[in-house]
Structure 1
Amino acid sequence: MKYFSIFLLSVFMLVSCAEKTPEATVLQGDAFGTTYTIQYFSERGFDAERGLDSILAMVNNSVNTYMPQSDISKINQGDTTVVVDEIFKEVYKISERVYTNSEGYFDPTVGTLRNAYGFGDMAPVTEIDSTVLDSLRRYVGFKKVALLENGKIEKRYPEIYFDFNAVAKGYGIDKIGQFLEAQGVSSYIIELGGELLAKGKNLKKDQYWIAGIEAVDSQLENRSYLATVYLNNTGMASSGNYRKFRINPRTGQKYVHTINPLTGFAEESNVTSATVLAPTCALADAYATAFMAMGLERSKKLLEEIEGVEAFLTYSSEELEGEEQGQFITDGFKKQLVSNLAANGE
């Protein structure tokens, strides 16, 4: 009987150890001009911070327009000798894909216009009239650039200015995710500047990771959310004009940060915010920007044509009263909403 009791105690100890609640490792810091929080579950230790710093440095050195010595800055300054690395090539090809699918509403050569309106890394133009706009639009158009087989960039005009900011942050998040997976991590969530990539589950709660969709009228000091969504092995990014705008101090004119590459105007479409789920954070990042420029009907049409991309769009309309916002949610996105899944017992 003594041996049987010892055996039972051993089994109980093994079960207790096995059922111990997993604890996530949490990393926090600054990157790409914003902050990040990373949570992951791992059974073994590794130097995550060193790997993270290495990834951030490589992305910055390749596609960060705010670093004068980065490859993209040298290209923007007219250096034709630069041979770009794999990071630049991948970001370029992602941008080309979304540019094609959006019929030009997403265009990373919009940098000249972004700078002119005061949203880039150069002093804004004092006043943008039709004459100035026509001259600036000459230097916008992804079909006016090419990635050559030798790794060099060819530009029709030296003044063409690349701006990958609408995809580079999401791409950087994807690279961090790849690093974690190379270390054997299968459950993690990366949040950087409000954009996310999640894989596996929150093992502590034994459920998929959850993220909030911020309301258009949300305040920085008191954030409010329209809905919450489960992230099932997906990237998520949001874009909106409710905070990112600039007032010309001389004319009083308001410029929103979403620029229509086809017209050159920094103008609001009827889409007031776009939250996108996609297989990668880079794609979610790029499509969120595209939908803001495209407007509701074009965005709905594109969402019907592409696979693997889901969206939660808010929009304004003359049919809505006052500050009321309409909502368009794809069926795939609806399936991931926390309230829907909870109602179905999932």
Structure 2
Amino acid sequence: MVSNSRKNLIYSLVLLVLIGAVYLYRNREVSQIDGQNNSPLAGWVNLSGQTMGTSYQIKFKTNRNEDFQSGVDSIFSRVTNAFSSYEVNSEVNRFNLDDSLASPSPDFKDMLAFAKDLNTQTLGAFEPTQKPLENLWGFSRTGPYQKDSIELMYVMPSVGIQKLMVSDSIIQKSNPGTLLDFNPSALGWAIDEVATYLEKLGIADYWIQIGGQIRANGQNERGELWKAGIRYPDLSTGEAKEGVLALENKTISPAGNWEDFYVRDSTRISFTLDPRTGMPVRHGLLAAWAITADSKKADALAEVLLILGTREAIKMDSLDTELEMILIHNEKGSSLKIYASPEIQPFLSFPIQ
């Protein structure tokens, strides 16, 4: 026979397990970021897979019954064929191998026009021809180093999107060393195209995530704003914590990593090159999130913020009413700090001091 004391112990253990299970169930929504829930409710569609060297997740609410996957695959195929450095025969790779690209696709011409405009607006900080600089420089925990013995003065003439000659029928290089890289905006371009596809079908509630970039519109399965995860430092302890940003019909795009850096003159510095100088940045901005309604612009501007540095980024925040941002930075000898645009602070789960 089992003693009463042993029975009581068993009952207590079972009760603790049940209480723990209920607690985890009731709090699953708190710890879960919206895109990680792979079992949407009835009326919701969930698509996922790989594209352009990374993963994607698309969730949306609809009462339509059709093959959404083929529509999304068609968009990804078109964007990959134009911009992906992972596709050997993509237009961007064919341009980089040759001195010109004949009969560019409408997507390719539109991307070039977008890139030229943003290059002008950011005074050269957004530069899709900086690949030769990336080939020249490397980074380690001890700092930047030159991977190639070629002098910077020989590389810089090949950098500059304004040096490309563009017409309806052909795109040509003025310098054979020029290389295009649309990765800083191609994922955002694909997200915008998928969003347009869904909206044309009358779909208003959706989540589109490619890599670390997210566009969210309308509401999630719980009738709330979608929530994107933000990894941030606890300013008192320096430990990494998980927070969220509620997205209201906007895109969030990250750049940099505040946990990965090298130190110069008591300042933590990111592994970032400035295409305007050809040199690594020297400021203390380590990570940036750009938040705006235009996904391809958010994708590109996140990288731009990381190049500009904290002061210039905040100045840009005050001038561009369509752009919001989160910055994690430090100054010489100081601890990490967090800046967030005033407009988004009520949508963050953590306070900004």
Residues 201-240 of structure 1: CA deviation (Å, up to 9, x unaligned): 11x21111111112369xxxx9842x32111111110001
Within 5 A, what are the aligned runs for 1:119-138?
127-128=147-148, 132-138=151-157
Equivalent in the alignment of 2:224: 207
Q: Which runs of 5+ in 2 are unaligned?
A: 1-40, 140-144, 263-268
Q: Counterpart of 2:63 in 1: which secondary structure? A: coil
Please, which moves more after superposition, 56-65 or 298-307?
A: 298-307
CA distance in 1, matches of 2:289, 2:137: 24
1:109-128 correspondence runs (5 A): 109-117=129-137, 127-128=147-148
Q: Deviations over 1:36-60 (max 9, x none)?
A: 1111100111211111111111111
Asked if structure 2 preserves the Cα contact closer than 8 Å seen for 1:174 and 1:280, the reply is: yes
- In structure 1, which of residues 64, 88, 93 is the aligned counterpart of residue 108 of structure 2? 88
Matches within 5 A, 1:5-154: 23-117=43-137, 127-128=147-148, 132-148=151-167, 150-154=168-172
Q: TM-score, normalised by structure 1?
A: 0.78
Task: Check the 8 A contact 1:269/1:292 in 2, yes or no.
Answer: no
Aligned counterpart, 2:176: 158
2:308 to 294, 318, 325: 294
1:190 CA drift (Å): 0.7
Aligned length: 297
State the distance in 1 between where 2:103 and 2:272 align.
30
Taking structure 1 as reference, are residues 96 and 336 closer, same or farther at Cα in structure 2, changes over 3 Å only? farther
Q: Which residue of 1 aligns with 2:338?
A: 327
8 Å contact kept, 1:102–1:302: no
Work out whether 1:304 is the aligned partner of 2:318: yes
**Partner residue in 1 for 2:13:** none
| Aligned twin of 1:232 | 248
Name the counterpart of 1:12.
Answer: none
Contact 1:147 1:153 in 2 (8 A): yes
Letter in 2 for 1:176: V
- Quick one: structure 1 residues 110 and 274, their matched pair in 2 at CA, closer, same or farther if it must change by over 3 Å? same
The CA deviation at 1:337 is 2.3
How many angstroms apart in 1 are the aligned matches of 2:114 and 2:273? Answer: 19
CA distance in structure 2 between the partners assigned to 1:79 and 1:292 by the alignment: 31
Give the root-mean-square deviation of aligned CA atoms.
2.7
1:79 CA displacement: 4.3
Indicate the SS of the match to 1:215. Answer: strand
What secondary structure, in the 3-state scheme, does the structure 2 residue paired with 1:161 have?
A: coil
Shift of 1:197: 0.8
Gap change, CA 1:298 and 1:339, over 3 Å in 2: closer
Structure showing the higher strand proportion among its residues: 2
* CA distance, structure 2, for counterparts of residue 126 and residue 281 of structure 1: 33
Amino acid at match of 2:164: V
Q: Percent identity?
A: 26
Partner of 1:252: none
- 1:277: which partner in 2? 291
CA distance in structure 2 between the aligned counterparts of 1:185 and 1:313, rounded to whole angstroms: 32
Letter in 1 for 2:286: T
**Contact between 2:101 and 2:172, CA under 8 Å: does it hold in 1?**
no
When the two structures are superposed, what TM-score results if normalisation uses the length of structure 2? 0.77
Measure how far apart 1:134 and its partner are.
1.6
Separation in 1 of the partners of 2:51 and 2:123?
A: 31
Post-superposition Cα deviations, 1:240-286, rounded to whole Å, max 9, x if no partner, equal: 1457789xxxxxxxx96522101212445321100111111111111
The whole-number CA distance in structure 2 between the counterparts of 1:309 and 1:292 is: 15
